[in-house]
Amino acid sequence: MLVCGVELTGDEAIICLLKMDGDIFHMPDCRVKRISCANPDVKNELEYFQKTFLKLVEDYKIERIVIKERMKRGKFQGGANGFKLEAAIQLMGDVKVTLMSGTNQKAALKHYPLPFKFEETGLKKFQETAFMAAFAYLGGQYEW
């Protein structure tokens, strides 16, 4: 199963592709590491973001998108633009999207801890949260 882990920050989606075959993980090369939305308040920009993301899903045959859920209240709450991008991803048609809470991610990683250091993946540091969301989803084998 090919999963796209996503972390939403401000006006961009940071992504990481991760595939699991049996007990072996693969990180396919991806043409982009992030997809930006110039101004989520403008309908055309939001539609362009959505179409760009959908094209990525189609080109790589992504089976599931796992978004690291952001808090709606409190000190670390997400911003309005991030929630717009989240909605745009969730409403892309037949694409399966899962929001993974920090609690579910911790539970999955406790059940199936990362067997190597993140630095060994060859990914950029800013992709770590997206990678961990995808890894927790695949490693945990849970349906949230």
Dig out the tokens for 102 from the structure.
Answer: 């920090």
Q: pLDDT by residue (tens digit) across 79-88?
A: 778 899 999 9
Please report the domains of the chain, with CATH numbers, ordered by start residue. 2-140 (3.30.420.10)
Q: Residues near 4 by Cβ (< 8 Å), separated by ≥ 6?
A: 15, 16, 17, 18, 56, 57, 60, 62, 64, 65, 66, 134
Q: pLDDT by residue (tens digit) across 19-73?
A: 988 778 899 999 999 999 999 999 999 999 999 999 999 999 999 999 998 876 7
